[in-house]
């Protein structure tokens, strides 16, 4: 094996882990090789686990592995090791690799990724149900990242979009902006937040996985009615307000500035 590696016939990926000549080094190989190096008790976690389940299009730069608390493997380039004992329901075997189950993988990836709220929204639409996500969160309370995961879950669970509205109100108050009202009546509809004097309507969307066909059509009819009546309409998602608050405030100010 060492001779083949010296002759470049095989590629040494980690100690005792080689890529046989003729095989491509893919994202799947990258994750599998890291797990093979850590041993059968290791579990692929975080964004790497989300990739393994098809929630992400590519593997992260660094593969996260979780090993039992008593293990102390030596650090390896491109591998990040966490030491903790995972609950049995949070570990599955996928394509011959021990990997975090989908609910835990989605939660940990959402905490680690810069667009974590948008990622978690997509995961809830396509890969995992909220009750399973919540159970995984409860089983791992106190672990690193659990407080951030709790904030994301609180926002995702708010079906009335009030989490997004509360976030917008905090932003407006923090910026010293006045003249707005919540739940402004407009014909048969209610505008989430409005500046009536300036005829500016702001609609906030919580999480896409909550929106059904009826709600979608009703929101579009309301938007069309507002525009026909001469209102300006801005729409922000929870993810916009959470990740880019300054950009949202700038757009509101700019729209108000266009009004006489």
- Do 225 and 198 fall within a single domain? yes
User: Structure tokens of 237?
Assistant: 């998602």
Find the domain containing 88 and state its range: 2-157
Of 109, 124, 157, the residue that ends a domain is: 157
End-to-end CA distance of the chain: 78
Q: What is the pLDDT along the chain (260 residues), one digit of tens a residue?
A: 888 888 889 999 999 999 998 899 999 999 999 999 999 999 999 999 999 999 999 999 999 999 999 888 888 999 999 999 999 999 999 999 999 999 999 999 999 999 898 899 899 989 999 999 999 999 999 998 999 999 889 888 865 467 788 889 999 999 999 999 999 999 999 999 999 999 999 998 878 776 777 778 888 899 999 999 999 999 998 888 988 999 999 999 999 987 55
- Do 150 and 168 fall within a single domain? no
The number of distinct structural domains making up the chain is: 2
- Do 121 and 7 fall within a single domain? yes
- Do 129 and 177 fall within a single domain? no
- Do 193 and 237 fall within a single domain? yes
- Do 168 and 139 fall within a single domain? no
- Do 187 and 147 fall within a single domain? no
Q: What is the pLDDT of residue 259?
A: 59
Of 110, 134, 157, the residue that ends a domain is: 157
pTM, two decimal places? 0.79
- Do 149 and 170 fall within a single domain? no
């Amino acid at each position: 094996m060492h001779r083949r590696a010296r002759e470049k016939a095989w590629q040494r990926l980690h100690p005792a882990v080689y890529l046989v000549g003729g095989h491509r080094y893919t994202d799947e190989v990258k994750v599998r090789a890291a797990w093979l190096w850590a041993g059968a008790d290791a579990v692929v976690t975080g964004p790497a686990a989300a990739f393994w389940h098809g929630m992400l299009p590519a593997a992260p730069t660094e593969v996260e592995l979780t090993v039992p608390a008593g293990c102390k493997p030596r650090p390896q380039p491109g591998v990040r090791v966490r030491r903790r004992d995972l609950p049995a329901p949070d570990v599955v075997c996928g394509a011959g690799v021990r990997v975090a189950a989908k609910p835990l993988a989605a939660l940990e990836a959402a905490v680690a990724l810069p667009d974590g709220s948008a990622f978690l929204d997509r995961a809830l639409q396509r890969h995992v149900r909220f009750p399973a996500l919540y159970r995984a969160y409860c089983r791992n309370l106190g672990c690193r990242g659990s407080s951030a995961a709790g904030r994301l879950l609180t926002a995702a669970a708010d079906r009335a979009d009030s989490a997004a509205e509360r976030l917008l109100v905090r932003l407006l108050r923090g910026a010293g902006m006045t003249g707005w009202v919540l739940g402004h009546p407009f014909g048969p509809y209610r505008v989430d937040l409005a500046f009536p004097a300036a005829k500016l309507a702001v609609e906030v969307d919580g999480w896409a996985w909550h929106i059904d066909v009826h709600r979608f059509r009703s929101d579009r009819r309301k938007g069309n009615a507002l525009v026909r009546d001469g209102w300006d309409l801005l729409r922000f998602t929870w993810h916009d307000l959470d990740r880019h608050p300054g950009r949202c405030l700038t757009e509101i100010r700019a729209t108000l500035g266009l009004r006489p």
